[in-house]
Structure 1
Amino acid sequence: MELEEQAIITEEYKDITNNDMHIIEAVGLGGNKMSDIAAKLNITVGSLTTSMNSLVKKGYATRERSEQDRRVVFIHLTLKGRKAYHHHAEFHRKMTDAVLDVLDENEALVLAKALDRLTLFFRQYKS
């Protein structure tokens, strides 16, 4: 996480944290409901609210209340937020390419299977 932060928190994005970048990623380019973002990040809506206050204040995101149900809040990325999203996605693409470029097809399949198992472990893990 520390190395990732050094790579993605560049001069342009020095006003946000690595955690903020992951929230931006969870919001996505199409926007999302606060409850869906919190669930995706496995945090409470209250914790997300604190982070979203900061991202809105810094101009990375906007809030929009649902017309049908005023309790529902949608989050959308601003242009600045979408640029940060793409910056973070590009880092992950380069990281993935760096690994896959040195693997043959069989090794890539083994890696994919191992990562699937690791993902399953983390989803099922209860501390």
Structure 2
Amino acid sequence: MDETRQTLNELLVDLFNYILLIEERNLQESKVALSMTEVHILEAIQKSESKMMSAIAKRLMVTQGTLTVSTSKLVNKGYVIRERDEEDRRIVRLALTDKAQHVLDVHDQFHSRMIDKVLDELDIGEDEALVKSLSNVLSFFKEQY
């Protein structure tokens, strides 16, 4: 592997590891008593249009059973509410509480600072090249999945 490829490989691996570690530390410092997995579940609920368990499980790439277990913990902790669909009682939709919104605000602030740092020294056009490169990496991951 040539030097550029080796450096890029190390950067990607280190970035991934640091993001997870720093996100977790940021939550702890903000007195959020949730794991990163739980925060990412809240984020998936927030971003889901239908709020259905099946759609959220798909977004998170987990089974509905796995999501059900995690969601039960978040319901018990007061971050999520389960709601049965009025027309089809088999459908369960998830809703976030105000307590969950606070956690997502903390999480979003971290991501905002991270993105500001990434874009801080890029010239016009370089940000588009970075987005294209990262999109290609994501496409690779999706193909592998």
TM-score computed with the length of structure 1 as normaliser: 0.91
Residue of structure 1 equivalent to 2:40: 22
Aligned pairs for 1:85-104 within 5 A: 85-104=104-123
The AA in structure 2 aligned to 1:112 is V
Task: Could you tell me which runs of 5 or more consecutive residues in structure 1 were left unpaired when the two chains were aligned.
Answer: none
Q: Secondary structure at the match of 1:64?
A: strand
Confirm or deny: 8 A CA contact 1:31 1:74 kept in the other structure.
Answer: yes
Deviations 1:91-113 (A, max 9, x none): 11110011101211232122111
Give aligned pairs, total: 125
The AA in structure 2 aligned to 1:93 is S
Deviations 1:44-95 (A, max 9, x none): 0000011101111001110000111111101000000111112111211110
Between Structure 1 and Structure 2, which shows a larger proportion of helix residues? 2
* C-alpha distance in structure 1 between counterparts of 2:85 and 2:134, whole Å: 38
Q: Secondary structure at the match of 2:125?
A: helix
The AA in structure 1 aligned to 2:134 is L
| 1:112 matches 2:131 | yes
Q: Please list every run of at least 4 consecutive aligned residues from structure 1 whose deviation after the TM superposition is greater than 4 angstroms.
A: none
Confirm or deny: 8 A CA contact 2:30 2:106 kept in the other structure.
Answer: no
* C-alpha distance in structure 1 between counterparts of 2:142 and 2:39, whole Å: 21
| 1:48 matches 2:51 | no
Q: 1:39 to 1:72 in 2, by over 3 A?
A: same
Identity of aligned residues (%): 38
| 1:59 matches 2:68 | no
Please point out which of 88, 100, 117 is paired with 1:81.
100
Q: Considering Cα pairs closer than 8 Å and 6+ residues apart, tell me whether 1 or 2 has the greater RCO.
A: 1
Please point out which of 16, 21, 24 is paired with 1:5.
24
Task: Could you tell me which runs of 5 or more consecutive residues in structure 2 were left unpaired when the two chains were aligned.
Answer: 1-19
CA RMSD of aligned residues (A): 1.6
The AA in structure 1 aligned to 2:41 is I
